[in-house]
Amino acid sequence: MEGLRGLAVLGVLLFHAGHFGGGFLGVDLFFVLSGFLITGLLLREARAADGRIRLAAFWGRRARRLVPALAVMIAGTLVLVTLFGAPSLRRQALDDTPWVLANLANWHFIAEQTGYWQASGTQVFSHLWSIAVEEQFYVVWPLLVALLVRVGGPGGSERLVAVAATTGALLSLALMITLVDPVDTTRVYEGTDTRAFSLLLGALAATEPASRLVRRFGERARTRWAAALAAAITAYWLTADGQGSPGLFQGGLFLHALAAALLIACVAHAPRDGAGHTPHGTDAHDPDSADVHTPDGAVAHAPDGAVAHAPHGAVARIRRGVVVRVLSVPPLRGLGLLSYSLYLWHWPVFLLLDEERLGLTGWSRTVVLLAVSLAAALLSKLLVEDPVRFRAPWAYGRTGAVALLGTLAALLALWAFLPRPQLGAGTVDITRLSADGSAATESSRSAGPPPGTPIRPGPWG
């Protein structure tokens, strides 16, 4: 899974840098991965515990995985924007922060009618809409899965989960087609309800009925299907470019998510072991709790997992396929391991290090942006994420809950303490316009985003 995560985040980075028009689809791939891996973890726990899913433990793992890096990025970005950002950038960051902390950023942007395709250059937190969608999914979907597992019992619970995922995905597609506005597609692109089909198609692929269907095909057939699906997805990434891409919101995104879910199923559904477990991990930004390939070729499960996986040799057989070999190359796997922090940090870095500040344009600037983003992501993983997850006993149980509340309180205190830009800063004083309509004040020159800011030429992640 690390290779797929690496491809997804690389696409988003290159899109935001203005070099790859279809890279925004990396976010859709993240959604599918999250649905697949999270649902797989929940169902494996239910199998191992006679239908019981410990929701508090699940949400605790999510908090330990996601909150520390997010909190540090929010605090660091607020300080950096206060010190170096334009007044309009500072004001927008402060306006957005409470909604980011509440994991409701996507609905905030929709309610504010912030044009998704035009306004990203003034919002350092605008990329967090997708994190909000995933967090909302992590709250609602496990509750539904736990209920369905209890109602369905040992024999029918996964069928019920599959039916729920299929029904929800189709309803989500119908909402996207119904609600899409051809002038501004922000509502359907950022709405949790209209993007849920990607997460739910991934969830469907993790269920036993889907796994059984995939296993009916022989190993060679799965390898061929994986290659065909990867080729189709690649072609779509290379041809998609902006909200005007043909059929994007009339089924295009849905078909992309469906192809991604089928590809993941072909690659990840190895032959079952005696306990009936398949080798996949937890969520699209959670590489350390996914499967770890040990030196002898077997599969071990990292600390956040619950069970062991495929027998020795199963993964090795799958790796003969060209798709898995490509996804297993070290650079992609390395990017996948850093994907969460890299996604968090890259957009503030892109906005703060504009062409004017760097004195660079084009690929020269992009190389610097990628290097700084990678450095920030690596520091986040080594100094924040891994220590909290694996070497911090206080992060569990009641002390963990207190730490979470304390982190939220500290971020709110920082938000309240930071000075607000002077009223009117970064805007045009209409009383001082010259006869030809040009502004006579210096403040008018800071109204827009800095030079070199990649204002969304098309959809982005």
Question: What is the dihedral angle through the alpha carbons of 306, 406, 190, 202, rounded to the nearest 10 degrees?
Answer: 0
CA–CA dist 181, 17 (Å, integer): 26
CA–CA dist 187, 110 (Å, integer): 6
Contact, 272 vs 263, CB < 8 A?
no
Tens digit of pLDDT at every position of the chain (461 positions): 788 999 999 999 999 998 998 999 999 999 999 999 999 999 999 888 878 899 999 999 999 999 999 999 999 999 999 999 989 899 999 999 999 999 999 999 999 877 666 666 678 999 999 999 999 999 999 999 999 998 877 667 889 999 999 999 999 999 999 999 888 888 999 999 999 999 999 999 999 999 888 888 888 888 889 899 999 999 999 999 877 778 899 999 999 999 999 999 988 854 433 333 333 334 444 433 433 332 333 333 333 333 333 333 333 343 457 888 888 889 999 999 999 999 999 999 999 998 889 888 899 999 999 999 999 999 999 999 999 988 888 888 889 999 999 999 999 999 999 998 875 544 544 444 444 444 433 333 333 444 444 444 333 34
CA–CA dist 171, 178 (Å, integer): 10
User: Three-state DSSP class for 45?
Assistant: helix
DSSP 177-222: HHH--SS--HHHHH-HHHHHHHHHHHHHHTSHHHHHHHHHS-HHHH
CB atoms within 10 A of CB 243: 21
CA–CA dist 67, 134 (Å, integer): 13
DSSP state of 305: -
At residue 282, what is the residue type?
Answer: T
Question: What is the dihedral angle through the alpha carbons of 69, 70, 72, 78, rounded to the nearest 10 degrees?
Answer: 160
